[in-house]
């Protein structure tokens, strides 16, 4: 069994991260750091847009979440399945397949051509949390 202290710590950390991402606005809040890989190379990593995607997902905007990072939702579902049935991750094809999808996605989303540039993280047009236009 997992030591109870470690388990409690991990759950608390997760809750704190999810709460922060729920309330903070990615890209505007200084508590959520920008991607270091993007800053250094100006290339998108496979995780770019994940904070925005999770923010959108937590607010129930499924489409906006997929536009920011199409892998977040399938990734969360895969993680749940793998934790539920751990023996699945022993199969050779599963590990190789997941790694191939992630690396392929990383390459494709950096291509500047039309069908692929949709995979780049889109700043979703502010819908729900946009402040109303200021009236003077």
Partner 1 sequence: MFCKNCGQELSSDIKFCPNCGAPAGTNALPDGVLPADVANKKMTAGILGILLGGWGIHKFYLGMTSTGLIMLALTLCSCGVLGILGFIEGIIYLTKTDEAFYREYIVGRRQWF
Q: Would you tell me which residues interact with partner 1 (CB under 8 A)?
A: 2-3, 6, 10, 35-37, 45-48, 50, 71, 75, 82-83, 86-87, 89-96, 98-99, 101-103, 106
Using the minimum distance from each CB to partner 1, give the nearer residue, 7 or 62.
Answer: 7
Query: 4-23 and 50-58 helices cross at what angle (nearest 10)?
Result: 80
Write down the least CB distance from residue 72 to partner 1, Å: 8
Q: How many residues does the chain have?
A: 136
> Residue 13 class from Cβ within 10 Å (0-12 exposed, 13-18 middle, 19+ buried)?
exposed
Write down the least CB distance from residue 31 to partner 1, Å: 14
Write down the least CB distance from residue 89 to partner 1, Å: 5
Nearest to 109 by CA among 65, 50, 44: 44
Using the minimum distance from each CB to partner 1, give the nearer residue, 62 or 103.
Answer: 103
CB atoms near residue 119 (< 10 Å): 21
Are the C-beta atoms of 75 and 129 separated by less than 8 Å? no
Write down the least CB distance from residue 74 to partner 1, Å: 11
């Amino acid at each position: 069994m997992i030591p109870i202290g470690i388990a409690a710590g991990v759950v608390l950390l997760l809750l704190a991260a999810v709460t922060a991402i729920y309330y903070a606005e990615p890209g505007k809040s200084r508590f959520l750091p920008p991607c270091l890989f993007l800053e250094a190379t100006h290339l998108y990593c496979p995780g770019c847009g994940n904070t925005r995607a999770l923010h959108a997902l937590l607010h129930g905007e499924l489409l906006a979440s997929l536009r920011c990072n199409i892998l977040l939702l399938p990734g969360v579902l895969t993680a749940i399945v793998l934790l539920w049935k751990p023996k699945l991750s022993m199969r050779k094809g599963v590990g190789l397949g997941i790694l191939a999808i992630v690396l392929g996605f990383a390459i494709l989303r950096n291509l500047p051509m039309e069908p692929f540039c949709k995979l780049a993280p889109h700043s979703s047009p502010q819908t729900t949390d946009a402040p109303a236009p200021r009236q003077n």
